[in-house]
Amino acid sequence: MKNIHKRFGGVVALRGVDFTVGDNEVIGLIGDNGAGKSTLQKILSGLYPPTEGEIFVKGEKIDPNNYSVRQAHEMGIETVFQEKALGQKQALWRNIFLGRQPTTKFGYLDVEEAKSETDRIMKQFLGFTGEGVSPDSTVSTLSGGERQGIAIGRAMYFEADLIILDEPTNALSVKEIGKVLDFIREVKRQGKSCVYISHTIAHIYEVSDRFVILDKGKVADRREKGELTEQELIDELTHHATRPETEERSP
């Protein structure tokens, strides 16, 4: 993403942002409320067109005015929102294949195929081995971490090369947070890339290779994990968040 600007009427959300994700890389995208993190990921995932700027996926320049969520999916980009985005009363197999259901040669929904593939996803990607959870289980019976796992597993099944995680550990217990972080490690182990958006520096520091700090719609800093400790990252974020609006910033 090059020189990305986004305006909503008189509100400027992004101001000339350059953002790159490499192969098999986990990037921690951090910043205070209103920094532009959500707007940037919505442009990346095809929900919003940028007001100005260029987008390249695997070296191919994308027409931002025709870029959509469907096209992002076709190019291997999936977004996992907070677990509330799942259908709480729907079976797991329906959530996995929502909008992309397998069909028979006659065009009918292939329920058996969907359930069989859901069972494989649960075991292969998510480590569900107990008898208590099946493809017919409803999302509401799962813990918060397991629900996030289902959403991440769905993205991995559809062979996403880049998975965007938007605040995936919100309102989870310590044990459930551990599960989500394990899922992120699995994404990297399988050679995929991830953009991890979070306010919780301890979680983001643990699994990220690189950090991009947004502040008031601009890139305030980019740092490799080996360049600073977790506390130094917190101090860096605090420094930018408390810097006066008029003070010059150098990305």
For residues 191 and 22, what is the distance between their CA atoms, to the nearest angstrom? 11
CATH topology of domain 2-84+162-170+193-242: Rossmann fold (3.40.50)
Q: For residue 144, what pLDDT band results from cuts at 50, 70 and 90?
A: confident
Range 5-11 contact pairs with CB under 8 angstroms and sequence separation of 24 or more: 5/50, 5/51, 5/52, 5/53, 6/36, 6/39, 6/43, 6/48, 6/50, 6/51, 6/217, 7/51
Q: For residue 129, what pLDDT band results from cuts at 50, 70 and 90?
A: low
Tokens of 88: 């709480």
Strand pairing report for 218-224 and 210-215: antiparallel
Poorest-pLDDT segment among 16-20, 55-59, 141-145, 204-208: 141-145
Residue 18's contacts (CB-CB under 8 Å, 6 or more residues apart) are: 1, 2, 3, 4, 219, 251
Residue-wise burial string across 64-101, b where 16 or more C-beta atoms lie within 10 A, e elsewhere = beebeeeebbebbbbbbbbbeebeeeebbbbbbbeeee
Give the residues across from 11 on adjacent strands.
Answer: 8
Positive or negative: CA dihedral 179, 180, 182, 186: positive
pLDDT tens column, 194-247 = 999 988 899 999 999 999 999 999 999 999 999 999 999 999 988 887 776 654
pLDDT at 169: 80
pLDDT reading at 249 higher than 50 = no
| Between 88 and 189, the higher pLDDT residue | 189
Q: For residue 250, what pLDDT band results from cuts at 50, 70 and 90?
A: very low
Helix axes 111-124, 144-157, angle to 10 degrees: 110
250: region left, alpha or beta (phi > 0 left; psi from -120 to 50 alpha): beta
Q: For residue 251, what pLDDT band results from cuts at 50, 70 and 90?
A: very low
pLDDT tens column, 19-55 = 999 999 999 999 988 899 999 999 999 999 999 999 9
Q: What is the mean pLDDT of the chain?
A: 86
Average pLDDT estimate for 109-129: 83
pLDDT at 247: 46
Domain residue limits, the chain: 2-84+162-170+193-242
pLDDT at 27: 97
Residue 198 identity: S
pLDDT at 248: 42
For residues 49 and 116, what is the distance between their CA atoms, to the nearest angstrom? 37
pLDDT reading at 141 higher than 90 = no
Tokens of 28: 């921690």
Q: Which of 84-88, 171-175, 200-204 has the highest mean pLDDT?
A: 200-204
Task: Find the DSSP H helices in 45-110.
Answer: 69-74, 92-96
Whole-model pTM above 0.95? Answer: no
